[in-house]
Amino acid sequence: MTTVLRTSPGRPPRVVIDTAVVVSALVFGGGASAALRHAWQTGRCRPMLCRATLTDLTDKLAHPRLQLSRSEQGELVAEYLPHAVRVSVPQAEAGSATGDPMALAFARLAMAGRAHALVTGDPEMLCLADRFVCPVLTLDDFLAALVRHDPVTTLR
Protein backbone atom coordinates (compact mmCIF):
# COMPACT_ATOMS: atom_id res chain seq x y z
CA MET A 1 0.00 0.00 0.00
CA THR A 2 1.32 3.44 -0.94
CA THR A 3 0.92 6.01 1.81
CA VAL A 4 0.21 9.62 0.94
CA LEU A 5 0.95 12.28 3.54
CA ARG A 6 -2.03 14.61 3.38
CA THR A 7 -0.98 18.12 4.36
CA SER A 8 -1.81 21.63 3.25
CA PRO A 9 0.12 22.65 0.13
CA GLY A 10 3.68 23.66 0.96
CA ARG A 11 3.41 22.51 4.57
CA PRO A 12 5.68 19.76 5.91
CA PRO A 13 3.92 16.83 7.55
CA ARG A 14 3.67 16.75 11.33
CA VAL A 15 4.93 13.41 12.54
CA VAL A 16 5.10 11.55 15.83
CA ILE A 17 8.37 9.63 15.89
CA ASP A 18 8.78 6.70 18.26
CA THR A 19 11.51 7.51 20.79
CA ALA A 20 13.58 4.50 19.74
CA VAL A 21 13.64 5.85 16.18
CA VAL A 22 14.65 9.33 17.38
CA VAL A 23 17.45 7.90 19.54
CA SER A 24 18.69 5.84 16.61
CA ALA A 25 18.76 8.93 14.40
CA LEU A 26 20.53 11.04 17.02
CA VAL A 27 23.04 8.51 18.32
CA PHE A 28 23.78 6.11 15.48
CA GLY A 29 22.62 8.08 12.46
CA GLY A 30 23.39 5.82 9.51
CA GLY A 31 21.21 4.98 6.50
CA ALA A 32 17.51 5.63 6.98
CA SER A 33 18.12 7.17 10.41
CA ALA A 34 20.44 9.75 8.85
CA ALA A 35 17.82 10.49 6.19
CA LEU A 36 15.19 11.07 8.87
CA ARG A 37 17.49 13.35 10.81
CA HIS A 38 18.23 15.32 7.63
CA ALA A 39 14.48 15.55 6.92
CA TRP A 40 13.68 17.16 10.27
CA GLN A 41 16.79 19.38 10.17
CA THR A 42 15.84 20.75 6.75
CA GLY A 43 12.16 21.20 7.61
CA ARG A 44 10.88 18.44 5.31
CA CYS A 45 8.93 17.08 8.28
CA ARG A 46 7.99 18.45 11.67
CA PRO A 47 8.48 15.98 14.52
CA MET A 48 6.11 16.50 17.42
CA LEU A 49 6.70 15.93 21.08
CA CYS A 50 4.92 16.38 24.37
CA ARG A 51 6.03 16.21 27.98
CA ALA A 52 5.77 12.39 28.10
CA THR A 53 7.71 11.80 24.88
CA LEU A 54 10.39 14.34 25.84
CA THR A 55 10.81 12.61 29.20
CA ASP A 56 11.05 9.26 27.43
CA LEU A 57 13.71 10.65 25.09
CA THR A 58 15.85 12.03 27.92
CA ASP A 59 15.46 8.76 29.86
CA LYS A 60 16.53 6.66 26.87
CA LEU A 61 19.53 8.90 26.13
CA ALA A 62 20.59 8.52 29.78
CA HIS A 63 20.56 4.71 29.58
CA PRO A 64 23.95 3.35 30.67
CA ARG A 65 24.16 1.13 27.59
CA LEU A 66 24.60 4.24 25.40
CA GLN A 67 27.49 5.50 27.56
CA LEU A 68 26.65 9.15 26.90
CA SER A 69 27.81 11.83 29.31
CA ARG A 70 25.25 14.31 30.63
CA SER A 71 26.78 16.89 28.31
CA GLU A 72 26.42 14.61 25.27
CA GLN A 73 22.84 13.80 26.23
CA GLY A 74 22.06 17.52 26.48
CA GLU A 75 23.68 18.21 23.11
CA LEU A 76 21.59 15.53 21.42
CA VAL A 77 18.35 16.80 22.94
CA ALA A 78 19.34 20.37 21.97
CA GLU A 79 19.91 19.16 18.42
CA TYR A 80 16.36 17.80 18.23
CA LEU A 81 14.25 20.32 20.16
CA PRO A 82 14.53 23.32 17.79
CA HIS A 83 12.98 21.23 15.01
CA ALA A 84 10.17 19.74 17.09
CA VAL A 85 6.67 21.07 17.49
CA ARG A 86 5.74 21.06 21.15
CA VAL A 87 2.18 19.87 21.67
CA SER A 88 0.18 20.24 24.84
CA VAL A 89 -1.53 16.93 25.51
CA PRO A 90 -4.32 16.87 28.09
CA GLN A 91 -3.60 14.70 31.12
CA ALA A 92 -5.08 11.21 31.01
CA GLU A 93 -7.50 10.15 33.70
CA ALA A 94 -5.88 8.13 36.46
CA GLY A 95 -6.22 4.42 35.88
CA SER A 96 -7.31 4.81 32.26
CA ALA A 97 -4.10 3.48 30.72
CA THR A 98 -3.86 -0.12 29.59
CA GLY A 99 -1.02 -1.76 27.73
CA ASP A 100 2.19 0.12 26.89
CA PRO A 101 2.15 3.61 28.43
CA MET A 102 4.41 5.02 25.70
CA ALA A 103 2.15 3.65 22.96
CA LEU A 104 -0.67 5.52 24.66
CA ALA A 105 1.48 8.67 24.87
CA PHE A 106 2.26 8.46 21.14
CA ALA A 107 -1.43 7.95 20.33
CA ARG A 108 -2.49 10.90 22.48
CA LEU A 109 0.24 13.09 20.94
CA ALA A 110 -0.85 12.09 17.43
CA MET A 111 -4.46 13.02 18.21
CA ALA A 112 -3.68 16.28 20.02
CA GLY A 113 -1.19 17.40 17.37
CA ARG A 114 -3.24 16.20 14.39
CA ALA A 115 -0.29 14.16 13.13
CA HIS A 116 0.01 13.17 9.50
CA ALA A 117 1.94 10.02 10.46
CA LEU A 118 3.43 8.04 13.32
CA VAL A 119 6.83 6.45 12.65
CA THR A 120 7.79 3.37 14.62
CA GLY A 121 9.61 0.09 14.46
CA ASP A 122 7.45 -1.44 17.18
CA PRO A 123 5.56 -4.43 15.72
CA GLU A 124 2.67 -4.01 18.17
CA MET A 125 2.15 -0.38 17.15
CA LEU A 126 2.47 -1.26 13.46
CA CYS A 127 -0.34 -3.81 13.95
CA LEU A 128 -2.62 -0.97 15.09
CA ALA A 129 -2.20 0.87 11.79
CA ASP A 130 -5.72 0.14 10.52
CA ARG A 131 -7.28 1.49 13.74
CA PHE A 132 -5.11 4.55 14.29
CA VAL A 133 -5.84 8.25 13.82
CA CYS A 134 -3.09 8.62 11.21
CA PRO A 135 -0.89 6.31 9.14
CA VAL A 136 1.47 4.20 11.30
CA LEU A 137 4.60 3.64 9.24
CA THR A 138 8.01 2.06 9.45
CA LEU A 139 10.90 4.46 8.96
CA ASP A 140 11.49 3.26 5.39
CA ASP A 141 7.80 3.64 4.50
CA PHE A 142 7.73 7.13 6.01
CA LEU A 143 10.81 8.20 4.04
CA ALA A 144 9.25 6.87 0.84
CA ALA A 145 6.02 8.76 1.59
CA LEU A 146 8.03 11.89 2.34
CA VAL A 147 9.76 11.71 -1.06
CA ARG A 148 6.33 11.30 -2.74
CA HIS A 149 5.07 14.28 -0.71
CA ASP A 150 7.96 16.52 -1.82
CA PRO A 151 9.83 14.87 -4.70
CA VAL A 152 12.02 17.89 -5.49
CA THR A 153 14.84 16.83 -3.16
CA THR A 154 16.06 13.43 -2.10
CA LEU A 155 16.59 12.30 1.46
CA ARG A 156 19.58 9.97 1.10
Domains of the chain, earliest start first: 14-88+99-149 (3.40.50.1010)
Give pLDDT, residue 40.
96
Predicted pLDDT of residue 93 = 55
Distance separating alpha carbons of residues 62 and 85, to the nearest angstrom: 22
3-state helix, strand, coil in the chain (%, to 5): 50, 10, 40
pLDDT of the residue at 97:
52
CA distance 140 to 137: 8
- What is the reported pLDDT for 51? 95
pLDDT at 10: 77
Mean pLDDT in each 10-residue stretch from start to end of the chain (156 residues)? 71 95 93 95 95 96 96 96 94 58 89 94 84 89 87 52
87: three-class secondary structure by DSSP: coil
Instruction: Name the amino acid, one letter, at 4.
Output: V
